[in-house]
Every structure is written in C-alpha cells, then in structure tokens.
C-alpha cells in the first residue's frame, strides 16, 4: 500500500485534521471541572419543537431562529427559510470581529433524538454567532416526515439540487417497533436512501484521525476513504415472500420488442426472492467521482466487487471502471505516482486490515455501507467518521454524520440525566458543508473558518485531553473524571476556537 508522507505540526489530509500531538499519544484524564458546565436545554422529538424567537432589537440587529416551530398544517408542506443574522442571545463576541458572510444558501436538514439536540447546540455555538448565512431549513424529524407522507424528504433533496450544498442531521429509519412507537402511517423508507436516489453521486466516508485515540486496528496510520456507490442494488430492490410452490421468472420487455423470460427458480415450498438493478450512467458517475477524489488527494485507488460470482452484474462495474480509468485517468495517476486496481471484495477487506491505510476504495452500495462502519470503528469510534455525498459533476453536495440518532442517550436525556454523546461527526457535517460552500462561492474566509473549527475539535481531544465518554472508553479509561458531558465538550471547543481565531487575527 502507498505511504502518505506525514510532516510535523498541523495539516489537513482530506476532510480530516491530522495532528502531531505535543503530548504522549496516550489517554489523559480530563476533569469535568476543567471546562464550563453550560447546563442543559430540553428538546422533544415527540411532543414538538421549541418555538422560534422573533423580535427586533434595533434596525441593524435581527434575531435569528435558534429553533423552529413544526408546521401544524396537515395538508401543507411548510418549510422554514431564515437568514441567520446577529443573535444577542447566543453569546457575546468581540466587537472587533465581524461575522463571516456566506454568499449563497445552505440547505439544513434537521433530524431526530439526541443528534437533533446536539445539532441545535452546534448551530447556536458555532454557526449563528460567527456566520451570516441563509439556511434553507427542512424538518426531517420522523413525525414531520410522517405528517407530510415523506414529501419533506423529497423537497429537501430537490433544494440541495437547487442550492448545491446541504448539511444533514442524523435521522431515524423506522422499523416495526418505531412504526408502533410513533404511530406512523407506514414504515417510511430511509431518508438517506431517498436523498441518495434523487441526487445520485457517491458517498465518501473518511475517518477523523486523532493520534491520542488508540485504534482498534493499530496498523492503520493514514486515513482510509470509502467511496460508496449511492444508487441502486439492495437499496432499490424489490423483495417479497414466496408463499408456496411455484415458479419465479424475470421478465424483460425491450421498448417496442417482445418479452424475454428468464426462469429464476422453481420453488418447492415457501421462501423469499429479490430483484435489484443498477444503471450504466450511475456506475460511470460513480467511477468519475471516485477517480477525481483519488487524483485530488494523490492517493491510490481500489475498486472491489465479487465479479467471480456475479459475472454480469459485478462484472459490469469492473469493466466500466477499467474502461474509464484507461481512457481518462491513467496518465494523471501515473504522473502522480499512484495507481488503480480492481480486487475481489474478500481480498480487499483482508488487505485493508493488514495495510497502514492511505488509499481510496470504491465499493458497491451495500459493501460500502458495511465497510465504512468497520473503518470508522477501526480508527477508534463511529463518532469519528465524516460522510459526504458528491455528484460526479460536483453540482450537489451533502454532508452528515456517519452514525445514527443515539437513541440510548436520548432516553437518558429524557429522564433528566447527564449525557456524554460525541458531537464531533455532527460538527464535521456542518464544516464539510461550509468548506464546499466556500469552494463553490470562492470565499476562502468561509473555508478557513470551517477548517479552524475542525482543528479546534481535534485539539481539544488531542492536546487538552478533553473528550466524551466513548473516546475515554476507547482509551481504556472508565472513571467519571476521564470524560465530560456533551455540553462541556462543546464549551471547550468554543473556547479553543476563539483562542485559535484570536491567534490568527494577530498574525
């Protein structure tokens, strides 16, 4: 595997900050008293949402919304779209520091449970006080998706297509238990799947590397980026129960032609069946997005399938990737000293565990779904993984945390107990969107702010040893003094960010 040279000090590698720690890469206890305890603010995803604040203190100071009222119209699709201006209730900032103007809108997709609460806290601390940004707000909380028959998810995806950049909070994908819990009309599809199918593109998942956090795969020294094809296969499959004996057939009818029938299986008793598909156009887009990312990062790239078994289905992926590489990317890769190679999925997984990292793997939809979680946990925590959806043309981009809604912590929060949920991936969902917005708008100050916020998140853990419970446990620390609450961690990041921005201003 290729080595990516590391240098001392701070530098960005892809969407993660890698830091040469100034202290030993072992976990240090961090007293909860070492940072501000900001108290708690309660939100409920079942009863309703906090009301928007609307007032005007002066002709030049408008209050932004720190939360939103869920529309109560049963047959209407009402969304909030508010310009976030000065908010004197968020925090006091230096009079010398002006808010950074984000030239074009960002689509905000709200979510569920514990991550919804954290999402709002992040916005109150790091977005509203520092940025003048037009957020096109869509409530993807499960109850509102149910109220709108999931139309809100479609509308949100279309808004991302219109404005180019979206940031998404984690959401619930309902199962039978959730249908009963929320009294849903039906078992709605995954909002992530719906958005991916509308936008197309490729999901790239990359770990946030923090040297202080031990890795479950200790040999991994550099990030492993998983490119997941965000279309088709199992996620657009048609499946059904076979009730009893009978013949299953696949019928293809060409436009203007005669049906072609393929016998799949002669059932002798009950069973199950599934059909799935993909498109050459989507596979080609997947290939281009993957090759472009690998070239941009100067990393070698692998593509993995099981074409020895699925000779036509997976074989099509293999052939299209090779064709595009040979025609359009081979010369560029060779000039950069990197390469492309196809490998069987089982061989790729084995090689991944043995390697030190430092490459991109393009995977089919399901493979990428599974392996990205393995990579995240291998680097220390599911809370240390970014997830971005990018179209081949780069005209639509969505970022989100790679983890779920943290239901267990939400239940504790509902009981009034303290929680220590890792917010880093949710913060990076915002920063990745800001970086992309800044790149599209050619506003380097927006990009720089996002990168400074990422840096602060990592430094609080790596340099100061302040971390949430999941990271402390990853370090082998179980005593209460080793970890802080979510709000305490966010307060520490806020302090570190202000310090870093202050130092930057002096330069």
Tens-place pLDDT, residues 398-409: 999 988 999 999
Mean pLDDT of 151-159: 98
Whole-number Å distance between alpha carbons of 320 and 286: 10
**Rounded to the nearest 5°, which phi and psi values hold at 88?**
-70, -10
Whole-number Å distance between alpha carbons of 180 and 291: 44
Q: Is residue 48 part of a domain?
A: yes
Which residue ranges make up the annotated binding site for Mn(2+)?
346, 369
**How confident is residue 28, by pLDDT bands cut at 50, 70 and 90?**
very low
Question: 323 or 385, which is more confident?
Answer: 323
- 272 forms beta bridges with 241
Whole-number Å distance between alpha carbons of 500 and 477: 28
Q: Is residue 94 part of a domain?
A: yes
Q: Are 116 and 84 found together in one domain?
A: yes
Q: Which of 208, 213, 225, 92 is nearest to 457 (CA)?
A: 208
Tens-place pLDDT, residues 236-294: 899 999 999 999 999 999 999 999 999 999 999 999 999 999 999 999 999 999 999 99
Q: Is the pLDDT of residue 226 over 80?
A: yes
3-state secondary structure 452-474: HHHHHHHHHHHCCCCCCHHHHHH
Q: Is residue 264 part of a domain?
A: yes
Q: Which of 57, 126, 218, 208 is nearest to 449 (CA)?
A: 126
3-state secondary structure 423-442: CHHHHHHHHHHHHHHHHHHC
Q: Are 53 and 161 found together in one domain?
A: yes
Q: Is residue 128 part of a domain?
A: yes
Q: Is the pLDDT of residue 72 over 70?
A: no
Which residue ranges make up the annotated binding site for D-threo-isocitrate?
173, 190-196, 205, 228
If DSSP codes are grouped into helix, strand and coil, which group holds residue 5? coil
Q: Which of 325, 349, 379 marks a domain boundary?
A: 379
Whole-number Å distance between alpha carbons of 420 and 409: 8
Question: 100 or 76, which is more confident?
Answer: 100
148-152, 181-185, 205-209, 321-325: lowest mean pLDDT where?
205-209
Q: 294: number of CA atoms within 13 Å, CB side?
A: 33
Q: Is residue 117 part of a domain?
A: yes
Q: Are 43 and 148 found together in one domain?
A: yes
Q: Residue 505: its pLDDT value, please?
A: 65
Q: Residue 82: its pLDDT value, please?
A: 36
Which residue ranges make up the annotated binding site?
171-173, 178, 190-196, 205, 228, 346, 354, 369, 404-409, 422
3-state secondary structure 230-275: CCCHHHHCEEEEECCCEEEEEEECCCCCCCEEEEEEEECCCEEEEE
DSSP-derived secondary structure letter, 48: B
Q: Is the pLDDT of residue 369 over 70?
A: yes
Rounded to the nearest angstrom, the gap between the alpha carbon of residue 35 and the centroid of all alpha carbons in its chain is 28
**How confident is residue 30, by pLDDT bands cut at 50, 70 and 90?**
very low
3-state secondary structure 303-354: EEECCCCCCCHHHHHHHHHHHHHHHHHHHHHHHCCCCEEEEEHHHHHHHHHH
Task: For residue 200, give the CATH number of its domain.
Answer: 3.40.718.10
Q: Are 55 and 183 found together in one domain?
A: yes
What is the per-residue DSSP string for 63-76?
PPPSS-PPP--TT-
User: pTM of the prediction?
Assistant: 0.75
Q: Is the pLDDT of residue 139 over 80?
A: yes
Q: Are 207 and 303 found together in one domain?
A: no
Whole-number Å distance between alpha carbons of 493 and 457: 6
Average per-residue pLDDT in the chain? 83
How many residues does the structure list for the chain? 507
Mean pLDDT of 110-131: 97
- 102 forms beta bridges with none
Which residue ranges make up the annotated binding site for NADP(+)?
171-173, 178, 354, 404-409, 422
Q: What is the dihedral of CA 128, 132, 138, 139, to 10 degrees?
A: 10
Q: Are 365 and 444 found together in one domain?
A: no
Q: Are 64 and 33 found together in one domain?
A: yes
**How confident is residue 422, by pLDDT bands cut at 50, 70 and 90?**
very high
Q: Residue 4: its pLDDT value, please?
A: 36
Element housing 84 (H / E): strand 80-84
- 137 forms beta bridges with 80, 108
Q: Are 271 and 411 found together in one domain?
A: no
Tens-place pLDDT, residues 460-502: 999 999 999 999 998 999 999 999 999 999 999 999 999 999 8
Expressed as residue numbers, the domain containing 199 is 10-214+383-506
Q: Are 357 and 500 found together in one domain?
A: no
Query: Exposed, middle or buried by CB within 10 Å (0-12, 13-18, 19+), for 70?
Result: middle
Q: Residue 230: its pLDDT value, please?
A: 80
């Amino acid at each position: 595997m290729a080595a990516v040279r590391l240098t001392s000090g701070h530098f960005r590698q892809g969407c993660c900050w890698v830091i040469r720690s100034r202290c030993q890469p072992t976990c240090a206890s961090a007293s909860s008293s070492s940072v501000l305890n900001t108290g708690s603010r309660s939100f409920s995803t079942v009863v309703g949402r906090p009301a928007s604040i609307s007032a005007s203190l002066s002709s030049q100071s408008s209050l932004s919304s720190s939360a939103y009222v869920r529309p109560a119209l049963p047959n209407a699709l009402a969304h909030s779209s508010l310009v976030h201006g000065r908010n004197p209730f968020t925090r006091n900032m230096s009079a010398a520091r002006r808010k950074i103007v984000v030239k074009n809108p960002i689509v905000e997709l709200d979510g569920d449970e514990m991550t919804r609460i954290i999402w709002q806290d992040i916005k109150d601390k790091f977005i509203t006080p520092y940025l003048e940004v037009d957020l096109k707000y869509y409530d993807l909380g499960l109850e509102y998706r149910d109220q709108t028959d999931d139309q809100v998810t479609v509308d949100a995806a279309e808004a991302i297509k219109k404005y180019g950049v979206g940031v998404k909070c984690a959401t619930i994908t309902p199962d039978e238990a959730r249908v009963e819990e929320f009294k849903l009309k039906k078992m709605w599809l995954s909002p992530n799947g719906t958005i991916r199918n509308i936008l197309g593109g490729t999901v790239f998942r990359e770990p946030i590397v923090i040297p202080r956090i031990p890795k479950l795969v200790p040999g991994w020294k550099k990030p492993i980026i998983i490119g997941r094809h965000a279309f088709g296969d199992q996620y657009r499959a048609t499946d059904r129960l076979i009730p009893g004996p009978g013949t299953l057939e696949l019928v293809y009818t060409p436009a203007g032609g005669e049906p072609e029938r393929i016998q799949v299986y002669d059932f002798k008793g009950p069973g199950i069946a599934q059909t799935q598909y993909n498109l050459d156009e989507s596979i080609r887009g997947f290939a281009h997005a993957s090759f472009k990312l690998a070239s941009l990062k100067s990393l070698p790239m692998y593509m993995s399938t099981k074409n020895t078994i699925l000779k036509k289905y997976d074989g099509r992926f293999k052939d299209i990737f090779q064709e595009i590489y040979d025609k359009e990317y081979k010369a560029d890769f060779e000039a950069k000293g990197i390469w492309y190679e196809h490998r069987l999925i089982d061989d790729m997984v084995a090689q991944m565990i043995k390697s030190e990292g430092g490459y991109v793997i393009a995977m089919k939809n399901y493979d990428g779904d599974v392996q990205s979680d393995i990579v995240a946990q291998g680097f220390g925590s599911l809370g240390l993984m970014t997830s971005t959806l990018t179209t081949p043309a780069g005209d639509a981009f969505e970022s989100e945390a790679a983890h779920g809604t943290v239901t267990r912590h939400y239940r504790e929060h509902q009981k009034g107990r303290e929680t220590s949920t890792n917010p880093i991936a949710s913060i990076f969902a915002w920063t990745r969107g800001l970086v992309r917005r800044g790149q599209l708008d050619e506003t380097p100050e927006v990009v720089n702010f996002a990168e400074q916020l990422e840096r602060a998140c990592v430094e609080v853990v790596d340099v100061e040893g302040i971390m949430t419970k999941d990271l402390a446990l990853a370090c082998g620390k179980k005593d209460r003094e080793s970890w802080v609450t979510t709000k305490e961690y966010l307060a520490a990041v806020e302090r570190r960010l202000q310090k870093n921005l202050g130092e930057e201003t002096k330069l």
